[in-house]
Structure 1
Amino acid sequence: MAAATRLISRLTLVTGGGSGIGRSVCQRFASEGASVVVADISEESANETLGSLSSDLRGQGHMAAVVDVSSKESVKKLVASIQTRYFQPPSVCVNAAGITQDDFLLNMEEDQFDKVIQVNLKGSFLVTQAVAQALVACGAPKGSIVTVGSIVGKVGNIGQANYASSKAGVEGLTRTAAKELSRFGIRCNCVLPGFISTPMTDKVPEKVISKFPTLPHTFFLSSLCRPPEVADVCAFLASDDSRYITGARIEVTGGLFIG
């Protein structure tokens, strides 16, 4: 159950907000009173999410925006447009934009590797940097940046050398950003979902899915977690309930890969 007023007056930016985890994060944040900027490379998807957001709490105003997180120019334009609209930078940012280009290591093309790194890792860097720069420049007293990683970044996965590398990189980025930005009151944390059913994973080839771990159910609560379960943790990390947490990674896996 949402803590109804926990995010009131918070301006939040969610990349990848057009679907999957990003959409669930937008919906959860709006339900807790935040004003949400739904940013996605697909204008249609961003607007679909925008239309699903509640806005009946004090001072809420949402917007949709198109962004290519792998482009510094596009990210800077996004942050500038947010400041023009709201007269402030977002104090909460969730990096949920991500792609997969799965194939086995022996067959993977260089372009498949590069594209995933550019969106998942470089994109998280560019958005984190731009939001942090804006917060520091205006003297904001606090901020929270949450990046969606993956359990695959911790344990690896067959057919996902590029994706696992990008998500492992995101953890290093988060820990470093947390150390550098703590003196500005900006917290940076990482959420690691387990295997999750989203439009992105729906594109994973069957030959890769067949290699996913098939452990006995006594080892974990469920083989697939749902986007709202990840959004719950993002809302906690966005709020003052987690004011003493930074540089952390929180696994949302139902106990998968314990130990």
Structure 2
Amino acid sequence: MSGTFAGKRVAITGAAGGIGQTLCRLFGGEGATILALDKSDKVLALADELAADGIPARAAVVDISSAEAVAGAFAELGEVDILVNNAGYSSHPTMASTDPAGWQSDMHGNLGGAYACTHAVLPGMVARRSGAIVNVGSVNALYALGDPAYSAAKAGMIAMTKAIAMEYGRYGIRANIVLPGTVRTPLWEQRAAKDPKVLETLQRWYPLGRIVEPAEVARVVAFLASDAASAVTGAAIPVDCGLTAGNIVMSRELTIEDF
């Protein structure tokens, strides 16, 4: 099979979600064997769909907040050439609504889960002297945008990414992180169905005047995982339609020029 990732085994967490499914199809379309992980059993149907489309795929139902479950899943799935730590969630939108148990849950489900998956695949990558890890963070790691536990976890993922790049570069292993802004996933489509103006409100804050599409995140992840980015490691790259470039709403209100 030809393609950018021919012969590569690509593990993708959160595979059943909007970005996750897009990642599976992008990597699979470029020749990769997909190892799809998700806490939802929908990932099993996804693997069947990929296989029906000619993409070799295996699936594991696993809650990545459990290091033991993660270790077992990767032991069963086998070697991993590329790991995409895509899984994540937030269930506590404010600090006031976050109790200690909630804080720990969001931290384990994001930062802890990404660490557990990384820990599981690194020995094999070290032995083969090659590998790529791409973490999917969030612009929340850079700004206070709500969801404080989730945001803290994503900020921690930046630090973890840089630590991996520093320590494991000598083994030919690269680690990078993408920081998406608001992405048009089913979750946001559901919110838009309830409040048709929610996306219009969000788009005001993005210099490109729109939110991010899942494929736009997936393409940057694929670039970072590919040989085209062979000298890129330890990078944190926003994929956010310009959100982190500056405060466009404030700029428009303060400037005399109407742009």
Pair in the same fold by TM > 0.5: yes
Report % sequence identity. 33
Say whether 1:155 aligns with 2:150.
no
* 1:142 aligned partner: 130
Contact kept, 8 Å, 2:203 with 2:211, in 1: the verdict is no
Question: Which segment drifts farther, 168-177 or 62-71?
Answer: 62-71
Deviations 1:199-224 (A, max 9, x none): 455688999x97x975747x521432
User: Could you tell me how far 1:98 is from its partner in structure 2?
Assistant: 0.6
Displacement of 1:18 after TM fit? 0.9
Correspondence 1:176 to 2:176: no
Cα drift, residue 61 of structure 1: 2.4
Supply the AA of the counterpart residue of 1:28: L
Quick check: 1:27–1:54 contact (8 Å CA) kept in 2?
no
Structure 2 counterparts to residues 232-243 of structure 1, below 5 A: 232-243=219-230
CA distance in structure 1 between the partners assigned to 2:214 and 2:24 by the alignment: 11
Q: Is contact 1:177–1:188 with CA below 8 Å preserved after alignment?
A: yes
Which residue of 81, 104, 108 corresponds with 1:118? 108
Question: Over alpha carbons, which structure has the higher Rg?
Answer: 2
Distance 1:246 1:213 in 2: 35
Runs (4+) of structure 1 moved beyond 3 Å? 54-57, 199-207, 212-217
Q: Aligned-pair RMSD on alpha carbons?
A: 2.6
In structure 2, list runs of 5 or more residues that go unmatched. Answer: 247-259
Paired residues, number: 243
With CA pairs under 8 Å and 6+ residues apart, which has the higher RCO, 1 or 2? 1
- Provide, for residues 137-191 of structure 1, a one-character-per-residue CA deviation record: whole Å limited to 9, x for no partner: xx21310000100011111213x11111111111011011110110111100001
The match for 2:250 is none
Residue aligning to 1:51 = 48
Residue correspondence of structure 1 range 55-70 to structure 2 within 5 A: 61-70=56-65
Where in structure 1 are there 5+ consecutive unaligned residues?
84-88
